[in-house]
Structures are given as structure tokens and as C-alpha cells.
Amino acid sequence: MTIIQIIDTFTFYGLDIIALAALTCVCVQVLKLTLLKKCRRKIATFLPILLGGIFYALYAGICHLSVKWVLENYVDVLEHGFSVGALSTLLYVWYEQFIRDKEKTGATQGVIATLIDGYVPGDDAERIAKAICDAIEKDVTGNGANRIAEILSENRTEAISETDVKLLAKLIIETLAHINAGAK
């Protein structure tokens, strides 16, 4: 697709699509942070398309004051709904790449995020890795493995057992000890 075709697509659909896409983007983020916290990332990928379709169908029904019109013109409604979802996804990618001020992750946090990947929901791995880093830095008792286990227990996926959490906490402590010993 050329730039002219992309611009033509947006001018064909109009500002209503852009506004609905922004609303969809906000709703998807709210759902990811609340109801779908433990949802797999792959499932959440299709959420903008689904919500975009629903929002456009509601919008079309309100504009035409008729559910019958929405049902009779379902192809048009699906096409525009898909456009809302696709644009919402595009807006999110632009936001993540150019606007959001991402915190630089340190080597320790990166190692922890790699170790806990699969044990915690994918979207939360960086946040949980940061919490673990903070807990380790603040630990003066030398009992960081227990605090790590608590953090992991609060944020683990349902398939992970308590034994796995304790072993993972010990693995994190041992890995960081070896990294710090090698750095000296």
C-alpha cells in the first residue's frame, strides 16, 4: 500500500473512525490493567478488533437510530469496525514507539524479567521484575528469596505452584549472586 492509498483510506472513513479508534485504544488499556490482568498476551491482541467492531456497531445504530439498519448493512459495519480496530492497534503502536517515556531497564531487571517470563502474565513481567529489583535493593536481612517469593506468589499465573515460586525465587537470588560476583 502506498502513502496515498493509506491517506485515501482514512479520508474515506472519516474522523468518526479515528475517534472510535482512540476510544477503543483507551478501553483496551483499561481492560488489560483491570479485568484481563492475567489474560495471555495473544488473546489480548485481538481485543482492539473485537471492541472496534462493537463500538462501530453501537455508533452506527445510534447514528441511524435503528438496529435494523445495522443488521441490513452488516458488511459495511464489519468493514468499518475492522478499520476502527486496526487504527486502534496502529495508534497504540505509535504511542509505544514514539510517545511513551519508557524507563531504561538495568541489566539486573532484564535478567529477572527473563527468568520470570512464563511464570507471571507477559504484560506484567517488566513491572514485577522492577518490584523484585526494588525488594532486593531494600533487603538488609539477607532474606531476599522470601520477599521475591511473596512478590511472585501475588503475581503468578494460575498454573504455577507454590513450590515452583520458591524455586524460582532461589534461582533469581543465585543468578544475581553469580552476576554480581562476576562483575567484581
Identify whether residues 81 and 114 lie together within a single domain: no
52-56, 84-88, 151-155: range with highest mean pLDDT: 52-56
Same domain, 144 and 60: no
In a domain, 44, yes or no: yes
Indicate yes or no: pTM above 0.75: no
Has residue 183 got a pLDDT over 60?
no
Distance CA(63)–CA(15), nearest Å, equals: 14
Residues 94 and 125 in one domain: no
10 Å CB burial of residue 140 (0-12, 13-18, 19+) is: exposed
Query: Residue 123 has what DSSP assignment?
Result: G
Range of the domain at 8: 3-99
C-alpha 55/C-alpha 84 separation (Å) is 8
- In the chain, how many domains are there? 2
Residue 184 lies in a domain: no
Regarding whether 26 and 9 lie in a shared domain, the answer is yes
Show the cell assigned to 25. Answer: 485504544
The Cα-based distances of 68 to 1, 51, 59, 102, 166 in angstroms read 35, 20, 13, 46, 57
95 and 114 co-located in one domain: no
For residue 175, give every residue at least 6 positions away whose Cβ sits within 8 Å of its Cβ, in sequence order, or none. 111, 115
User: Where is the domain boundary, 58, 82, 99?
Assistant: 99
pLDDT of residue 9: 65
Asked if 24 and 76 sit in the same domain, the reply is yes
Shared domain for 56 and 83, answered yes or no, is yes
Q: What is the pLDDT of residue 104?
A: 43
